[in-house]
Amino acid sequence: MARTGRLRSWWRALRYLAAEGIAGMVSMALLVVGLVLVVFLLFGPGWLLAPRAVGLLRWWAGLARRRAGWFSGEVLSERYLPIPADPTFEDLRRLATAASTRRDAAWVAVHALIAPAAGLFALALPAAAVNSLLIPAYWQSMPADEPVTNIYPVTSWWGAAAMPLFGVAYGALSLWLTPLMARGMCGLAARLLAPTRESRLVERVSALTASRAAALDAHAAELRRIERDLHDGAQNRLVGVVMMLGIAERSLRTNPEQALPQLLRAQDAAADALAGLRTIVHDIYPPILDELGLEGAVSALAGRSPVPCVLDVGGLRRAPAAVESAAYFVVAEGLTNVVKHGGAGGVTVRLHTTDRDSGEVLRIAITDDGHGGAVERAGGGLSGIRRRAEAFEGTIELASPEGGPTSLTVELPCGA
């Protein structure tokens, strides 16, 4: 059993090193491309490629984390600042110089230099062992002027007879050295790719700074929306009520018979203005959230949706009021976008709470079967959803190929 377990461990290590050797060749190509991109960054145009370059670097480092996790059985954590959809120059500078970007770039450089050699050496040892064992069977078939050469040229049966001993030595060396190299390669990946305590603190401060700015932007946008709704809606209606009451007052003095209909119209206008005020108050914080919670509130949204909506709230737990309010508006805006732009015949909304190392996360997924092609535009509904998510250090992912389906995923941290 112990011997079988050791062989399985060796085979696992050999597969890991072989994969790392192939990946190291890709890292070498990425290193060359990265050096060229750095030159372009110095002259300006390269900044336009920074988001895609950083996204590619994060994806490649993520694959290395998964390979190392597969070999070690431990998950390597990762934490990145979100890549803005419409980044400013300051966003690009922060993205290119972030500690996570420098860490991933250092790993690519080291990986490109070490992994191909380690993978080649790990494969060469068992190949040399098999070749040494087979030399006695084929050394005579080689030309006299080109004998088999292993440790020494094999030109006689005495020389060939010693080759299996070297084969056993190669095999023993491979059984001992291959797992050792694999553990070293995995440890190197963990050391370079797993964020250090200092980098986590720096990225945490950067994330808090970005989320504070996003919260201020979202707050300012919300204030502008409330001011616009009050000005264009309730204020105009109240002005109409005042005018109607003024006309009714003059009618009472000159023609009392016409005053009653005018007062009734003023009463109807006042009722409309009151309804508008209630709608504005509801949009600030829906009372239904206090009455029924997030599950009941989104159930009401799904029930009112003109597009048939399937709601899945399995595994949903209560969250802070601010998070539930943001989630409610994310679902409301998402369903509004589906109705206005999706051309969908059906939509599915899923909400559930997952546990992460940093705490609970409320995950919202809205998927429709429409024509796709959705893009985020400044001032649009998706832009508003992004502002709400970033205000809570959340994330948003949109997948909307032409022809559909469209999938919007939003994750809102609920706190530790």
At 222, is the pLDDT very low, low, confident or very high (cuts 50, 70, 90)? Answer: low
What are the beta bridge partners of residue 361? Answer: 354, 413
At 334-371, the pLDDT tens digits run: 888 888 877 788 899 999 998 877 678 899 999 988 88
Which of 125, 133, 132, 172 is closest to 149 using CA atoms? Answer: 132
> Tell me, what's the pLDDT at 379?
60
Which of 193, 187, 203 is closest to 61 using CA atoms? Answer: 193
At 226-267, the pLDDT tens digits run: 666 666 666 677 777 778 777 777 777 777 777 777 777 777
- What's the CA gap between 199 and 205, in Å, rounded? 10
Q: Is the pLDDT of residue 115 over 80?
A: yes
**What is the residue-wise DSSP string for 313-356?**
-TT-----HHHHHHHHHHHHHHHHHIIIII--S-EEEEEEEEEE
- Reading the block at residue 265, the tokens are 């119209």
Do the beta carbons of residue 111 and residue 24 sit within 8 Å? yes
Rounded to the nearest 5°, which phi and psi values hold at 350? -120, 130
Q: Is the pLDDT of residue 207 over 70?
A: no
Other C-beta atoms lying within 10 Å of the C-beta of residue 131: 17
Range of 142-151, 206-215, 329-338 with top mean pLDDT: 329-338
| Host H or E run for residue 149 | strand 148-149
- What's the CA gap between 156 and 177, in Å, rounded? 31
- What's the CA gap between 147 and 71, in Å, rounded? 41
With 0.95 as the threshold, say if the pTM is over it: no
Burial of 112 (0-12, 13-18, 19+ CB in 10 A): buried
Instruction: Match 């023609």 to its residue by tokens.
Output: 255
At 195, is the pLDDT very low, low, confident or very high (cuts 50, 70, 90)? Answer: low
Q: Which residues are CB-contacts of 299 (< 8 A; sequence separation ≥ 6)?
A: 292, 311, 313
Which of 9, 306, 412 is closest to 181 using CA atoms? Answer: 9
> Tell me, what's the pLDDT at 386?
80
- What's the CA gap between 348 and 366, in Å, rounded? 6
Which of 323, 314, 397, 313 is closest to 360 using CA atoms? Answer: 323
> Tell me, what's the pLDDT at 220?
58
At 145, is the pLDDT very low, low, confident or very high (cuts 50, 70, 90)? Answer: low
**Mean of the pLDDT values across residues 165-172?**
84
> Tell me, what's the pLDDT at 350?
92
- What's the CA gap between 324 and 333, in Å, rounded? 14
